[in-house]
Amino acid sequence: MKFSSIYTLLFLFICSHIYTQDECAPCDIVANPNFKVTQSNIKWPELINGEVIRINSLTNIIYEGEDIYWPLWKISNIYNTDWWTNDNSDPWALTTNWDEDHKSPKDNFKDCVNDELRWKCGYSFSLRVPQNFNKNKKYPLVVYLHGSVQESTRSLSGRKWSMNNFYMSENDEYIIAAPTKIGIDWSPKKIQDLIEDIKRNIKIDSNRIYLTGLSMGGRGTFIVASKLTDTFAAIMPLSPHHRPYSYLQLAEKVNHIPTFIHHSTNDGTSSFSLAKKMFEKLSETNRNIVFDIKNWDHTGWHRIYSDKEKIEWLLSWKK
């Protein structure tokens, strides 16, 4: 993946000059280099059958050199503030309802912390275990990547509704994990550590790990799968976004993975033509490709996640 030269120059300039040496991120365990897994030392909260819980086991890990996932709104001045510093929108709050049950974790921050650096830390995530969860059984894992680059109390709380909206057969129950990102793009390295953290706490079938996402999460599905090429049994990118750079160049990295792409012809936010080109490129070498075309504009993803046939297609694949 390559940014345009102007983005690269902006990244290098800002990362070199905007922060002083006495400032630190609200995380301090340095992640292992490259794709060597970094283990968390934080204990999980108690799992509740059929319920969505919040987990911060990775938020104390700092990922240096992940500049590509910088929050671009700070560079382009699209937004004036970091969204996670707004009232009741802290993504590390251990709640599934930010509107009614928000409590900021900032009281535990050290004096040197600059919260604008939080994008360097590992992902906080929501997790849903099945209603009939059995700790001795191995489960498939679905990793769900949200869209947008700006969150709010409403969107954070809405994540629980989205996870509960996924179709789940009683005969093939699975785990759903939904991380919350702060940077503009999804980090494959952070997702890898998230998956491994889940595998250390729950029995997961390593041959049945799946990745899906919508909009910026659809784009992130291609980005993450292109780096973790042997992790996912199938992927499902929905309305993948086309900026800040094309994901078409990632086709050769993911063309071995069964892929379900959804896009609407009248989508005014994400490029339908780019999704079509990606489908055509993948189809040159991969017959396990589905291109689901609708006329839903930039919405309607819940119809796919709640669709028995589409979720069963995703879960039918094994590595």
Tell me, what CATH number does 201's domain have?
3.40.50.1820
Contact status, residue 22 vs residue 259, Cβ threshold 8 Å: no
Per-residue confidence (pLDDT) for residue 14, from 0 to 100: 46
- Structural domains counted in the chain: 1
Residue type, 254: V
- What's the rounded Cα separation, in Å, for the pair 15 and 11? 6
Q: Which residues pair with 292 in a beta bridge?
A: 262
Handedness of CA 60, 55, 71, 278 (dihedral sign): positive
Q: Which three-class secondary structure state does DSSP give residue 286? A: coil
Q: Provide the pLDDT for residue 70.
A: 62
- Cα 246 off chain centre by: 18
Please give the pLDDT value at position 47.
Answer: 96
Strand-pairing partners, residue 204, are 139
Residue for token digits 């090429």?
Answer: 229
* Amino acid making up residue 173: E
**DSSP at 111:** T
Distance (Å, whole) CA 256 – CA 265 = 26
Neighbours of 156 (CB within 10 A): 26
Which pLDDT belongs to residue 13?
46
Predicted confidence at residue 72, as pLDDT, reads 58
Please check whether residue 211 is in contact with residue 143, taking contact to mean a CB–CB distance below 8 angstroms.
yes
Give this prediction's pTM: 0.91
204: domain range?
Answer: 5-315
User: What does the angle CA 112 – CA 116 – CA 121 come to, to the nearest 5 degrees?
Assistant: 85
How many residues does the structure list for the chain? 319
Strand partners, 53: 127
My answer on whether omega of the bond before 71 falls inside 30° of 0, hence cis, is no
How would you label 105-114 residue by residue, b for 16+ Cβ within 10 Å and e otherwise?
eeeeeeeebe
Tens of each residue's pLDDT in the chain, 319 residues: 444 445 444 444 444 444 444 578 899 899 999 999 999 989 999 999 999 999 999 999 999 877 666 655 555 555 556 888 887 899 999 999 998 888 777 766 777 788 888 889 999 999 999 999 999 999 999 999 999 888 899 999 999 999 999 999 999 999 999 999 988 899 999 999 999 999 999 999 999 999 999 999 999 999 999 999 999 999 999 999 998 889 999 999 999 999 999 999 999 999 999 999 999 999 999 999 999 999 999 999 999 999 999 999 999 999 9
CA distance 217 to 146: 5
